[in-house]
Amino acid sequence: ALKSNEQQLTNDVKDVNAQISRHVEFTLSRQPFNVDELAMYQASALSVRDKLVHNWNKTQTAHTEKKVKRVYYFSLEFLLGRAYDNALLNLDIKQSYDESLKQLGFSLEDVLDVERDMGLGNGGLGRLAACYLDSTSTCGIPAWGYTLRYSNGIFKQVLSSKGDQVEIPDPWLESGNPFEVPRLDAAVEIKLYGQASRGENGKAGTWTGGTDILAVPYDIPIPGFRATATNTVRAWRSRGKVSFDLAAFNAGAYDAAVREAEEAETITRVLYPSENHEAGKTLRLKQQYFWTAASLHDICRRFRKLREPWSAFPDYVAVQLNDTHPTLAIPELLRILVDEEGQEWDEAWSIVRRTFFYTCHTLMPEALETWSVDLVGWLLPRHLQIIYDINFHFLADVERKFPGDRARLARMSLIEEGSPKRVRMSHLAVIGSHKVNGVAELHSELVQSQLFPDFVEYLGRDHFTNVTNGITARRWLYQCNPALSTLITKALGSEHWVTHLDELKKLQKFAKNEAFKKEWAAAKQVNRNRLCDYIESTTELKVNRKALIDIQVKRIHEYKRQSLNILGVIYRYLQLKKMSPEERKRVVPRLSVFGGKAAPGYYMAKLTIRLITAVSKVLNADEEIREFLNVAFLADYSVSLAEILIPASDISEHISTAGTEASGTSNMKFLLNGGLLLGTVDGANVELGQAAGEENCFFFGVLEPDVRELRLRHQAGQAQYPPQLLEVVDALRSGQFSAGEGDLFEPLLSTIFNGDFYLLSDDFLSYLEAQKMVDAAFVDTSSWVEKCINTTACMGRFSSDRAVQQYAEEIWNVEPVDISQ
Ligand code: 26Y
């Protein structure tokens, strides 16, 4: 009989050598003298995977045997980054591998660097999903992530010689992925197009014809920290079904059949590279259905094995919808229950509403998804009928509660009237879910008051809640910042803080300890040096290693206001130019670092990148100034680059117009790593300020309740423009930063003078003031370090462990499970 191979997984260096050699010889089929860095990466990563698989199987067996309720996190994006280092640390085997690779003639650091990022996401929403899966494993919560296995992740960004963004594809699977396991046996068929019919009064309808596409799952293990529990991200790949219709082949349709199969594969060919801006592309709707249908199919198959009645489905299944992208899961589950499982409509709708939960990540109107009724009806004819039926029952109920209020019905309907008519996915997500949550306190408040006020009245306040985002301290401190982690562990006496982040509070008692402060500053310098090395090896810049490092890294977006930052830099430059050499020496030297991708079709965002790179060139060429002020735009911001950047900051900028950033999560990462916040009163900045103490943060800018009024004032042409801003605008218009081409940046400037929707002119002066305060505080090194220590000490609440536990208790009703060793 087959038995477990546990004894082969020990972590003695000698055994690890043997495990790696076995993969070199038998899995890669290589001769020992023919092993390059890539092969060593593959063989050693596979040996790590073996250990993960062992825990993984134990976990899945325990979940199945105990018949636990599981949570399914549906997210079109999982920005996992690299897996290898994370696995080594979580399994506590990094030292063995370090030593083993040395003995085999390699350096672990170089081998780790071979791995390509799993870039299956755009930004915050996708990285949040990755942090949450990490935490479910660490906290023992039974969870699955469901997503798509894009053959091309988020594009690689390079800069042209002029300093413009150029997009390069990211075929990250080119040399294989040792951390995934294909499950060809669990493939499912997904239908598109075809014909549909309604059943008589709430009975089963049908959906026939159309095209069937194969969904093949690839599983990625997500290890917990020093825990056996290992959850799964299941990523679907689309494959064509080459049917052996001999008659058709003989009639000469062979090539057409193969072409159709090729077409099916395009569904998971590429990640859509836009964030917080609706793309509206047919292929994206296909992706959304393909993924949610395959995932629900999987979940229902698992449920059927329990032999429980469908009414018990919500006792075993909680599905979290990460934004509206998976909302088609709602009509799809209804279709399965009514058309395939013979459930009555009302009962099916009640099951659906107890199964789903919806997280809203935005307030921006352009990020709210709607799909044209015609497109939905063509691709998913049965689902469109079901959506109309849901709407019919829903509006009848609204009418009962608010008789005669036609305007309200129009506002709330799932269908937006107009030509073409459109399905409002957020409305469907709200009424098809048991709870709706925002991602920071301020945001959740605005979700209720601005986005869904009618639904709050209709469904009650309790339907809406807040779960402030969190981040995993494993990747975002323990792994990315060994210098600081080691110091913290030494001070606190153990690594307990890695899974109990509130323990950082105990660092407060070291905040005035001079020896500790010295070590803290030394750790920061290690990280600054690492970043400066990176900058000098990837750009033409030569940087001042003592300069204050000010970082803004995130997607490039007008609402995030990278332009406010760079206009501030230009202002600083113009002032420096006016100073005498003596005066300059009294100024705090600065390194301003930017990074982030622009959606390929987003003109203003791309022009912003051009502006930043243009300023960087001028400053770097200015011998008088460059040691006092430098700008670096780092190409291709990614999870791996973030791991270098975040530990190095003195301050980081989170400066969105009040009320536009739902939460932000990099703000949490920077503060956890002992950098200070320069931010607006927006998103999670508010709670970070409350936790860290406002005396340790630099806040500026208008408050959310004033935004409306200020926008109206701009529209009425009554806005005031501060002279400092006009000075910067004049310099730009003179062509000083664009080789004489004075109108290059005019489209950006004209948004400021035409409506100024993001209120740059209103916030410019207070931004400059805040930057002045930063300089003044930085000069007093001792008190600066104290602020940093106190800030890190207060970050416990922003752990994703806290966040997923809150979801588990307040939303999913899922219990942690003990997985015995
Ligand atoms: C509709 C489609 C084009 C679309 C694609 C991606 C819409 C939105 C997105 C991604 C949104 C996103 O990343 N939102 C961010 O989510 C983070 C996690 O909650 C928040 O911290 C951040 O404020 C928010 O912008």
The whole-angstrom separation of Cα 330 and Cα 380 is 13
Strand partners, 548: 590
Residue among 808, 817, 818 nearest 71 (CA): 808
- Closest-lying ligand 1 atom to the alpha carbon of residue 369: 1
Q: Is 665 labeled as catalytic in the residue annotation? A: yes
- Residue that is written with structure tokens 């009302």 in the block: 346
| 99 touches 658 (CB < 8 A) | no
Cβ(275) to ligand 1 under 6 A?
Answer: yes
pLDDT surpasses 90 at 276: no
How far away, in angstroms, is 662 Cα from ligand 1 center? 8
pLDDT (average), residues 449-455? 98
Residue among 289, 304, 448 nearest 379 (CA): 289
| 24 touches 43 (CB < 8 A) | yes
pLDDT (average), residues 720-728? 98
Q: Is 711 labeled as catalytic in the residue annotation? A: no
HEC profile of 737-774: CCCCCCCCCHHHHHHHHCCCCCCHHHHHHHHHHHHHHH
First CA to last CA distance, the chain: 23
The whole-angstrom separation of Cα 51 and Cα 73 is 25
Task: Give the helix/strand (H/E) hosting 288.
Answer: helix 282-304
Cβ(599) to ligand 1 under 6 A?
Answer: no
Q: Is 304 labeled as catalytic in the residue annotation? A: no
How far away, in angstroms, is 124 Cα from ligand 1 center? 6
Among protein residues, the one with the nearest Cα to ligand 1's atom 3 is 278
Helix (H, G, I), strand (E, B) or coil at 410: helix
Ligand 1 pocket test: pick from 75, 132, 361, 660 the residue with the most ligand atoms within 8 Å of its Cβ: 361
CA 693 to chain centre: 27
Ligand 1 pocket test: pick from 320, 362, 655 the residue with the most ligand atoms within 8 Å of its Cβ: 362
Q: Give per-residue pLDDT as tens, 575-621.
A: 999 999 999 999 999 999 999 999 999 999 999 999 999 999 999 99
- Closest-lying ligand 1 atom to the alpha carbon of residue 359: 19
Catalytic residue among 237, 361, 383, 524: 361
| 84 touches 157 (CB < 8 A) | no
Q: Is 517 labeled as catalytic in the residue annotation? A: no
Catalytic residue among 665, 680, 791, 792: 665
Task: Give the helix/strand (H/E) hosting 465.
Answer: strand 464-466
The whole-angstrom separation of Cα 321 and Cα 302 is 19
Report the pLDDT value the prediction gives residue 243, as an integer from 0 to 100: 65
Q: Give per-residue pLDDT as tens, 100-133.
A: 999 999 999 999 999 999 999 999 999 999 999 9
pLDDT (average), residues 244-269? 81
Count the alpha carbons within 13 Å of 502 in the hemisphere toward its beta carbon: 4
Report the pLDDT value the prediction gives residue 244, as an integer from 0 to 100: 63
Cβ(177) to ligand 1 under 6 A?
Answer: no
pLDDT (average), residues 55-63? 97
pLDDT surpasses 70 at 245: no
Among protein residues, the one with the nearest Cα to ligand 1's atom 9 is 275
Q: Which residues of 277-310 are buried (b: 16+ CB within 10 A; e: fewer)?
A: bbeeeeebbbbbbbbbbbbbbbbbebbeeeeeeb
User: Which numeric CATH code is attached to 67-82+117-468+806-812?
Assistant: 3.40.50.2000
pLDDT (average), residues 764-768? 98
| 59 touches 229 (CB < 8 A) | yes
| 363 touches 440 (CB < 8 A) | no
The whole-angstrom separation of Cα 317 and Cα 69 is 6
HEC profile of 31-76: CCCCCCHHHHHHHHHHHHHHHHHHHHHHHHHHHHHCCCCEEEEECC
Q: Which residues of 614-651 are buried (b: 16+ CB within 10 A; e: fewer)?
A: bbbbbbbebeebbbbbbbbbbbbbbbbbbbbbbbbbbb
How far away, in angstroms, is 349 Cα from ligand 1 center? 28
- Closest-lying ligand 1 atom to the alpha carbon of residue 683: 23
Catalytic residue among 669, 711, 714, 802: 669
pLDDT (average), residues 752-761? 98
How far away, in angstroms, is 345 Cα from ligand 1 center? 33
Q: Give per-residue pLDDT as tens, 769-816.
A: 999 999 999 999 999 999 999 999 999 999 999 999 999 999 999 999
Q: Give per-residue pLDDT as tens, 285-324.
A: 999 999 999 999 999 999 999 999 999 999 999 999 999 9
| 571 touches 768 (CB < 8 A) | yes
The pair phi, psi for residue 772, each rounded to 5°, is -65, -45
Among protein residues, the one with the nearest Cα to ligand 1's atom 16 is 125
Cβ(668) to ligand 1 under 6 A?
Answer: no
Q: Give per-residue pLDDT as tens, 132-158.
A: 999 999 999 999 999 999 999 999 999
Bigger pLDDT: 326 vs 275: 326
Which amino acid does the sequence have at 181? V
Burial of 429 per CB tally in 10 Å (0-12, 13-18, 19+): buried
Helix (DSSP H) and strand (DSSP E) numbers for the chain: 33, 25
Domain ranges of the chain: 67-82+117-468+806-812, 544-798
CATH entry, 544-798, from 3.40.50.2000, 3.40.50.300, 2.70.70.10, 3.40.50.10800: 3.40.50.2000
What is this structure's pTM?
Answer: 0.98
pLDDT surpasses 70 at 821: no
Q: Give per-residue pLDDT as tens, 607-620.
A: 999 999 999 999 99
Among protein residues, the one with the nearest Cα to ligand 1's atom 7 is 276
Radius of gyration of the chain (CA): 27
Q: β-pairing, 422-424 with 370-372?
A: antiparallel
Report the pLDDT value the prediction gives residue 721, as an integer from 0 to 100: 98
Q: Is 585 labeled as catalytic in the residue annotation? A: no
Q: Give per-residue pLDDT as tens, 327-376.
A: 999 999 999 999 999 999 999 999 999 999 999 999 998 899 999 999 99
Report the pLDDT value the prediction gives residue 11, as an integer from 0 to 100: 93
Helix (H, G, I), strand (E, B) or coil at 707: helix
Q: Is 490 labeled as catalytic in the residue annotation? A: no
Same fold, 67-82+117-468+806-812 and 544-798: yes
